[in-house]
Amino acid sequence: MLQNHPVDVVHEDVAGVQNGEDGWLKAMEFEDGTVREYKGGFAMYGAEYNNGFARELGCELNDDGTVAVDDHGQTSVEEVYAVGDLTPGHNQVPIALADGAKAGISVHFSLRDFPRDPDVLEEAGPVRSEEIPGIPDDLLEQAVDFHTYD
């Protein structure tokens, strides 16, 4: 299919990268000695994922070594989430950030039932560190003291 389009397929391994004075990609050098000029590109690093911890926890792995997750980063092991390069998809920082935010929201909602009646929220009070270990009580107190919602 590629032969019918103006797409070059290069089978040689990359031997080096040349950047212009501005730091942007200028050309790539290949194992066969050829140099090809480029105006840009996307880096894709190897496919050996550091999945040892997830594997030890019993998380299901995909055939390529990534950790299998749902749309919110939940693995096959209850309460274990994975995001970023370890999961399928585009290995880019903005995507990892978004996936981390989705996983965090999912964890938050799993620890506290939502939506709640305002009276129930008032009665329950602020979330304490034993409920959400990532938020120390002193930081929570600062947030409560300086809140701007009523």
Task: Write out pLDDT tens, residues 37-61.
Answer: 988 776 665 567 889 999 999 999 9
3-state class percentages of the chain: helix first, strand second, coil last, to nearest 5: 30, 15, 55
pLDDT value of residue 87: 93
What domains can be seen in the chain, in order of their start residue?
A: 2-37 (no CATH), 52-111 (3.50.50.60)
Task: Write out pLDDT tens, residues 78-104.
Answer: 999 999 989 998 878 899 999 999 999
pLDDT value of residue 133: 62
CA distance 46 to 14: 13
Task: Write out pLDDT tens, residues 2-21.
Answer: 778 888 888 899 899 999 89
Residue 65, token pair as written in the block = 């070594």
The model's pTM is 0.52
Helix (H) or strand (E) holding 18: strand 14-19
